[in-house]
């Protein structure tokens, strides 16, 4: 990523996305800010232009709406100055699966997975042709553990991790960096929007701390950055165990425990 390239940030009006926008503006990059809230986007853009001198465009878009999503895809395909995509837009749902409406579940999956992969798909071919660029996908530690109890949300974040790992294998040899960022609970508006009381969650990480840690991983070109994980050996052990499991799969042979008795 060149020093004066442009960064497109989704979910940019507040929280993690807004801090990413501020940090990249202070690094000298132009910005394209994407979110639903026009007033907030305009206020953030005006502040960043004044404080940093950055060139800031806004795209008002609801990424669950096909027309809005298509407009962002078009910008990613056609704007050669955009060298980094921050796939941050996302939502959560509270309550058990059986109490969540089918429409709410569908919207969550659309935003957290479909929109994210479509935007990555829109920009990746151009980045590969250029031989440079970055795609940052914001996941969650919830995607590692069904025990957290947020089944659909966690499933979408498991998708984000898997996709990032797969894309890295494909794109890194062609000069495109892919990073998955896995926050734990972070003090953003996502919880209130999901109807979750943050007063019952006293250990939430600050948004600036989260983004600054993620950017350390970005600068180090980590594939998976987990800011709340204090012992990195835990992740390394999990990843090593996963690779060993894959290596022990025997496609043509049923495992003895599944063979019927003679």
Question: What residue segments make up the domains of the chain, in order of their start?
Answer: 6-258
With cut-offs at 50, 70 and 90, classify the pLDDT of residue 54: very high
**CA 26 and chain centroid, separation:** 21
Pairing outcome for strands 224-225 and 177-181: parallel
Active site residue 20: no
pLDDT confidence of residue 78: 97
6-258 has which fold? Rossmann fold (3.40.50)
Active-site residue identified among 20, 153, 177, 258: 153
Mean pLDDT of 172-180: 98
pLDDT confidence of residue 200: 61
Helical segments of the chain, H only? 15-26, 38-52, 66-78, 102-109, 116-130, 151-171, 190-193, 207-219, 232-247
For 206-245, write each residue's pLDDT tens digit. 899 999 999 999 999 999 999 999 999 999 999 999 999 9
């Amino acid at each position: 990523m060149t020093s004066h390239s442009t960064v497109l940030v989704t979910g940019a009006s507040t929280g993690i996305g807004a801090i990413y926008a501020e940090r990249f503006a202070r690094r000298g990059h132009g910005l394209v800010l994407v979110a639903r809230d026009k007033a907030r986007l305009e206020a953030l853009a005006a502040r960043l232009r004044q404080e940093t001198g950055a060139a800031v465009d806004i795209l008002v878009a609801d990424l669950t709406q096909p027309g809005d999503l298509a407009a962002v895809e078009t910008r990613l395909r056609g704007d050669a100055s955009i060298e980094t995509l921050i796939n941050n837009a996302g939502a959560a749902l509270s309550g058990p699966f059986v109490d969540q409406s089918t429409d709410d579940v569908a919207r969550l999956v659309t935003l957290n997975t479909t929109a994210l992969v479509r935007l990555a798909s829109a920009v990746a071919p151009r980045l590969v042709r250029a031989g440079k660029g970055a795609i940052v996908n914001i996941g969650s530690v919830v995607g590692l553990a069904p025990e957290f109890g947020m089944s659909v949300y966690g499933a979408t974040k498991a998708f984000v991790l898997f996709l990032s790992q797969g894309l890295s294998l494909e794109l890194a040899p062609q000069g495109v960096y892919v990073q998955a960022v896995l926050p734990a609970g972070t003090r953003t508006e996502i919880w209130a929007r999901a109807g979750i009381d943050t007063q019952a969650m006293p250990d939430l990480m600050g948004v600036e701390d989260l983004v600054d840690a993620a950017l350390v991983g970005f600068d180090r070109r980590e594939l998976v950055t987990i800011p709340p994980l204090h012992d990195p050996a835990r992740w390394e052990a999990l990843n090593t165990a996963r690779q060993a499991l894959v290596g022990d799969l025997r496609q043509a042979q049923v495992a003895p425990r599944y063979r019927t008795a003679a």
